[in-house]
């Protein structure tokens, strides 16, 4: 019966989720009962002491002090609050004590995606784009056009294993939230925060950013995928062998293809059009290669590989005239930037 209070919560899917839910449930019942008592007494007294028909005004009796009452209404809430403190503190200690054997995954937030790096270097990122048509900016438009919307790579974690998340951000404050695991923590630029969990159910869950971080905050979502441990290890090993392919020489066509996928996945298309002349937040990136671009300090520079590399790695180094310095730092490897540069070069 006391479970009624839990009906609005998503299914508990981490080892400590159930304990948190009991605290939540107990506190809800205590406050619920107190609410009924106080409001019940209020309504009862309104009727009991109302002015009856035909009665004339009566002066309200004057009360000052009742030691008995004061002791009661101080002692009872104090005991209740101390009780709540202990049950909550017990869980707080659990959630703040990261097990030593935990698998560490580095998570970086940035406008508007999450990057996950596993201990063996495998790197995955969330995204939000319409596969096959960068012009369709919302899930709704994309699905209406019969295309598939992508949330990028899931955060894959092993079942029944302790996972430690090392959290930071490269631009503004984001917040890492997986409701089913009952974990939430800010990702703050310039420092690291930690959280841990042990998934107890396989399946897919939602990862949210819960700190308003700009325009596309609502799309800063990801998928958390819990798989059995052997499946996880096999996946990680397979991805690691794929990751070493990262370094292998790609042909120009392959690089262009990779760059084309990356500008969607990395979120560049939110601010840049890849057709000539179209301004979004930033300048169009098609047809700029080999031409001169005017900077806000009056200088002119030639758009070559070095300029593009610098513009992507260190966006505030040179600001294009007529544009705000609004480009966030990017979390991309040199190989990835090279692919994007080849793609930009290919756009005439």
Burial 148-178 (b: 16+ CB within 10 A, else e): eebbbbbbbbbbebbbbbebbbbbbebbbbb
Q: Could you give the CA distance from residue 243 to residue 61 in angstroms, rounded to a whole number?
A: 82
147 and 141 Cβ atoms separated by less than 8 Å: no
User: 79 or 326, CB closer to ligand HEC?
Assistant: 326
**27: helix, strand or coil:** helix
**131: helix, strand or coil:** coil
**Sheet with strand 183-187: strands edge to edge:** 155-158, 222-227, 203-209, 174-178, 183-187
State in Å, rounded, how far the first CA of the chain is from the last one.
Answer: 67
255 forms part of the interface with ligand HEC (CB under 6 A): no
Could you say which DSSP state residue 179 is in? G
**Which window, 1-9, 139-147, 195-203, 323-331, contacts ligand HEC (CB under 6 A)?**
323-331
220 forms part of the interface with Cu ion (CB under 5 A): yes
Q: Could you tell which of ligand HEC, Cu ion, none binds residue 209, using a CB distance below 5 to 8 A set by kind?
A: Cu ion
Q: Which of 127, 167, 207, 213 binds Cu ion (CB under 5 A)?
A: 213
Q: How far is CA 235 from CA 13, 107, 157, 197, in A?
A: 21, 18, 10, 20
Q: Which of 217, 320, 329, 346 binds ligand HEC (CB under 6 A)?
A: 320
Sequence-distant (≥ 6) Cβ neighbours of residue 148 within 8 angstroms = 130, 131, 132, 142
Min CB(321)–ligand HEC separation in Å: 9
Q: Which of 212, 230, 326, 333 binds ligand HEC (CB under 6 A)?
A: 326
Please report, as residue ranges, which positions from 155 to 174 form the binding site for Cu ion (by CB under 5 A).
Answer: 174
322 forms part of the interface with ligand HEC (CB under 6 A): no
**Which window, 85-93, 169-177, 189-197, 310-318, contacts ligand HEC (CB under 6 A)?**
310-318
**Which window, 8-16, 48-56, 61-69, 203-211, contacts Cu ion (CB under 5 A)?**
203-211
283 forms part of the interface with ligand HEC (CB under 6 A): yes
Reduced to 3 DSSP states, what percent helix, strand and coil does the chain have, rounded to the nearest 5? 40, 20, 40
Q: Could you tell which of Cu ion, ligand HEC, none binds residue 127, using a CB distance below 5 to 8 A set by kind?
A: none
134 forms part of the interface with Cu ion (CB under 5 A): no
Min CB(224)–ligand HEC separation in Å: 24
Nearest residue to 315 via CA among 277, 278, 271, 279: 271
**Which window, 129-137, 148-156, 205-213, 275-283, contacts Cu ion (CB under 5 A)?**
205-213
**Residue numbers of the site for Cu ion (CB under 5 A)?**
174, 209, 213, 220
Residues forming the site for ligand HEC (CB under 6 A): 263, 266-268, 270-272, 281-283, 285, 288, 293, 303, 308, 311-312, 315, 319-320, 323-328, 330, 340
């Amino acid at each position: 019966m006391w479970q009624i209070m839990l009906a609005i919560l998503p299914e508990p899917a981490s080892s400590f989720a159930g304990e948190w839910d009991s605290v939540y449930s107990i506190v809800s019942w205590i406050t619920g009962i107190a609410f009924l008592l106080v409001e019940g007494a209020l309504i009862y007294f309104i009727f009991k002491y109302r002015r009856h028909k035909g009665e004339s005004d009566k002066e309200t009796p004057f009360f000052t002090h009742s030691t008995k009452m004061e002791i009661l209404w101080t002692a009872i809430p104090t005991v209740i609050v101390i009780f709540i403190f202990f049950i909550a503190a017990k869980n707080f200690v659990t959630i703040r004590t990261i097990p030593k054997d935990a698998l560490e995954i580095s998570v970086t937030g940035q406008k508007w995606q999450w990057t996950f790096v596993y201990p063996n270097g495998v790197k995955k990122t969330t995204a939000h784009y319409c596969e096959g048509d960068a012009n369709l900016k919302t899930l709704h438009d994309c699905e209406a056009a019969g295309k598939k919307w992508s949330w990028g790579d899931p955060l894959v974690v092993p079942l029944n294993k302790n996972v430690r998340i090392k959290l930071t951000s490269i631009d503004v404050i984001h917040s890492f939230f997986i409701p089913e695991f009952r974990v939430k923590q800010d990702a703050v630029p310039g420092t690291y925060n930690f959280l841990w969990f042990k998934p107890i159910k396989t399946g897919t869950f939602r990862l949210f950013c819960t700190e308003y971080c700009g325009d596309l905050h609502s799309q800063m979502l990801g998928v958390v995928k819990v798989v059995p441990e052997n499946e996880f290890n096999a996946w990680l090993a397979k991805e690691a062998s794929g990751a070493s392919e990262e370094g292998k020489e790609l042909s120009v066509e392959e690089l262009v293809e990779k760059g084309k996928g990356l500008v969607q996945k990395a979120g560049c298309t939110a601010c840049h059009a890849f057709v000539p002349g179209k301004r979004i937040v930033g300048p169009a990136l098609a047809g700029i290669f080999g031409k001169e671009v005017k900077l806000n300090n009056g200088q002119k520079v030639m758009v070559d590989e070095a300029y593009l590399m610098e513009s992507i790695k260190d966006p505030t180094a040179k600001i294009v005239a007529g544009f705000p310095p609004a480009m966030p730092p990017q979390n991309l490897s040199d190989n990835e930037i090279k692919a994007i540069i080849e793609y930009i070069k290919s756009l005439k």
